[in-house]
Amino acid sequence: MELIVAHDRAGLDKARSSGSVALVPTMGALHEGHRSLIRMARAMGEQVVVSIFVNPLQFGPDEDYARYPRTLAADLEICAEEGVDVVFAPSPDDMYRPDRQVSVSAGEMGTIVEGAVRPGHFDGMLTVVLKLFNLVRPDIAVFGQKDAQQLALIRRMVVDLDLPIEIVGAPTVREGDGLALSSRNRYLTSDDRHAALALSRALRAGAAEREPAAVRAAAREVLAASALEVDYLVLVDPATFAEVPDSYRGEAVLAVAAKVGSTRLIDNLPLTF
């Protein structure tokens, strides 16, 4: 079946199937990590919809909205290769009315960890995700676990707002050297890329330990010896993103964010104590 590309709500409504729909929301600049999300969606839904939209609401005034990679032609080729049924690629004017007033609040979880560094980011993210849910009306939505706090907040929104959608988290996909795949990796110089490997090394060093205090210490030791400008290294509850105590037992996420040259990257590993 030929890939359908919808640029507005009318085209999306016309393309939507009556069967089960699996949505993969993206900001484009697709890579192997996105392919893994699409393949998971393909196995779960009768129709796969990929959204491609660089959402202005989740970028701060000094962030990279203007230069964020926009590669629609290449993205459509990837979607066709992966058997996507519909791509929804609206413009900001299609998504947001000029007199828009109402947005989603991410609540307290949206103000900690990544939200403390990027105020308002998660409000903008949840606003566009809710709009995509309303427009696409999926049964399933697939998100990458690399954006672990985003995934936690989307799950919280689905529960709090009683949305009839199953949220599926897909494992982080990495390069052979351990660097987590990201659309922003294309910003990295060769020296930046080498320095960025300290992120995954720190996570692996932490994961080799068995107690929360030792996990934090091992990861911080790696980061302290690196050239990275670290925003945070935290060990948190995956549902709330609150820091876990040293006596903690259960599921956790070791998350890190740092600047490499002019590029900011995030990464994480799920752990169990």
194 is catalytic: no
183 annotated as ligand-binding? yes
Q: Say how far apart CA 244 and CA 120 lie, in whole Å.
A: 24
110 annotated as ligand-binding? no
144 annotated as ligand-binding? yes
188 annotated as ligand-binding? no
30 annotated as ligand-binding? yes
For residue 181, how many other CB atoms are within 10 A of its CB?
A: 17
| Residue 192 exposure: Cα atoms within 13 Å on the Cβ side | 15
Which among 117, 65, 99 has a CA at the least distance from the CA of 241? 117
Burial letters for 88-99: b for 16+ Cβ neighbours within 10 Å, e otherwise?
Answer: bbbeeebbbeee
121 annotated as ligand-binding? no
184 annotated as ligand-binding? yes
28 annotated as ligand-binding? yes
Please tell me what DSSP assigns to residue 184: G
Alpha-helix residue ranges (DSSP H) falling in 21-147: 32-44, 72-81, 92-95, 114-117, 121-136
| Cβ pair 102, 134 in contact under 8 A | no
31 annotated as ligand-binding? yes
29 annotated as ligand-binding? yes
Q: Say how far apart CA 235 and CA 102 lie, in whole Å.
A: 33
147 annotated as ligand-binding? yes
182 annotated as ligand-binding? yes
Q: Say how far apart CA 203 and CA 205 lie, in whole Å.
A: 5
17 annotated as ligand-binding? no
Phi, psi of 50 (to 5 degrees): -110, 125
23 annotated as ligand-binding? no
Q: Which of 7, 34, 121, 194 is catalytic?
A: 34
SS3 of residue 160 by DSSP: helix
32 annotated as ligand-binding? yes
Going across the sheet that includes 4-6, the strands are 4-6, 86-88, 47-52, 21-26, 140-144, 166-170
150 annotated as ligand-binding? yes
Residue that has been written with the tokens 């529960």 in this structure = 159
Residues annotated as catalytic are 34
Binding site residue list for (R)-pantoate: 58, 150
Binding site residue list: 27-34, 58, 144-147, 150, 173, 181-184
Binding site residue list for beta-alanine: 58
Binding site residue list for ATP: 27-34, 144-147, 173, 181-184
